[in-house]
A and B are shown apart, each in its own frame.
Chain A
């Protein structure tokens, strides 16, 4: 059980289950995962747990991923959680996302290895 808690927790927020599965498969067994299909669910998880990193989609039902990002950055207790944005809207959101404090931006489709490297680098930092 002790080993379980040592693995960093990754929160994956995407409304597409295959995408969440892909993120988990890409990152592999080095992490624990929490999944949210929309920003409301993500907020509920964030109230209870403090993930080591958030993988966040932009186009989500209800509040968008960018709004959630701004909220995270606005609160002291979550301001320094690394956030990786993945979105099919290349270019349009990349500048906004990075401007709002995202640590990395990956366009869909993305290279699973690139995602794994990015997450590893940010969690280690």
Chain B
């Protein structure tokens, strides 16, 4: 099978050219053959005519001999001599126009026989008749003359007859051949267009059908459908190459579109989170603000006991602190993107930070139960106290927000082979597996909004940034029920600022 379209076109063109060549060759050969048969017939007619002339000359010679024998005088003898010379011309002519070498030989033999008749018979007998007319006119002598003439005429007839037969045969052959060639030419005339027709259909199938498929696929792509796929496996021709190129194009288009869609979705998501953030910020700020303003108003307007005043001021102080930490969280959003994350590293005991913040949380939310596991020995790390406190507050705040109201919150500090580990466990719903990769992303809130849980989605992102800046790791595990968030700080992480040489950076 021809693989490529070009090869098919070449094949069809060759068939057409071959057909035309065969037709012309056949007609040319037939014409040549007929013409040569005609020439042969013409020559055979010439041979017959010259043969007859020669035969007539021989008969004339015989008659002239008989007349000269019967009546010897000057006239009859002159006639004899004329006749004895007259046969030369047709004889020589015949030797020229016969074609076969055998016939030329025969003509020469005839000439010899005629010469012999004249020299060995005619002239001697006429000489004898001068002296003994009876001898010359004897039966034997006249019989010999009759035989010699008969032999000559028979030879001439044989040549003319053979020429006529040969011409007739050639003519018959030429006719038959011409007929056959004409038939073959006619057959070629019929077969060639048929072959061209089939070739055309074959080409159409090779070109039109795949071309149609490409056109319809291209229309689909124009309409935005990049899923179209052209069959390319069983084709090794130009259309196979086209299909492969086409499929590469659609898959590239699809990838590009998917990329654009993903990018657009990401932008949309980021926009959505930003606008959500604005409303969350206002909510988060208003809640502590409500307590601060409300208690301040009560302190200003009502007569309160000293104990009441102290209690209210304590709440105002707590809520103002919370508000300040919230505001600094929002301001810290910028730190998430900032590569240079300044830390004030000192050596510190991590336990009091965890215990203090856990107790503060419990004071605000006494509906929870708190369990602490921090040990009796100091657990020293090198880090930024304010930032680590922020991490602990954020983890506790999450545990509180996601816990049921009588939930148990467990916090702990322990030493590990790598360094120090701090964990906070709650009895909340845990992290759905599909959100596992996103919980530490800025502004990610998961199902919190749907569950009515406040927050900006900043806390955990900040925690990760802070812990990573300390050279540590942060992560979580789902418990049943609840979740455990933890962070680890390396035993030999940061160098405390106090120990650093003033120009250590330049050494």
Contact = CB atoms under 8 A, between A and B. Distances in A.
A108 B301 contact: no
Interface of A: 15-19, 21-22, 25-26, 36-38, 40-41, 58-64, 86, 88-89, 107-113
Given A16-B287, A61-B451, A62-B452, A37 B367 contact: yes
Given A18-B315, A61-B405, A62-B452, A37 B365 contact: yes
B366 interface: yes
Given A17-B365, A40-B404, A88-B282, 10 more contacts: A15-B405, A16-B287, A17-B363, A19-B290, A19-B291, A25-B294, A63-B452, A88-B283, A88-B287, A113-B301
A63 B290 CA distance: 23
B498 to A, nearest CB: 38
Give the one of A26, A58, A88 with max B CB within 10 A: A88
B290 A61 contact: no
Contact of A38 (B287, B402, B405): B405
Interface in B401-431: 401-402, 404-405
A38 B405 CA distance: 7
B194 interface: no
Nearest to A21: B315
B467 interface: no
A110 B298 CA distance: 12
Give the one of B283, B366, B453 with max A CB within 10 A: B283
Interface in B287-315: 287-295, 297-298, 301, 308, 311-312, 315
Nearest to B407: A61
Nearest to B293: A109
A25 B298 contact: yes
Interface residues of B, number: 35
B286 A88 contact: yes
Contacts of B367: 37, 41
A108 B319 CA distance: 14
B453 A25 contact: no
A18 B301 CA distance: 19
Interface string B258-284: 000000000000000000000100110
Contact of A109 (B294, B298, B405): B294
What 8 pairs across the A-B complex have the smallest Cβ distances?
A: A109-B290, A108-B290, A88-B286, A18-B291, A109-B293, A22-B294, A37-B405, A88-B283
A68 to B, nearest CB: 11
A15 B405 CA distance: 9
Given A18-B364, A88-B282, A59 B452 contact: yes
B318 interface: yes
A115 B383 CA distance: 46
B454 interface: yes
A36 B451 CA distance: 17
Interface string B71-84: 00000000000000
Nearest to B363: A17
Give the one of A17, A64, A110 with max B CB within 10 A: A17
Nearest to B316: A18
A16 B294 contact: no
Contacts of B288: 18
A16 B282 CA distance: 16
A61 B294 contact: no
Given A17-B366, A18-B315, A26-B294, A61 B287 contact: no
B279 to A, nearest CB: 8
B283 A89 contact: yes
Contacts of A21: 291, 311, 315
Contact of B405 (A26, A40, A86, A89): A40
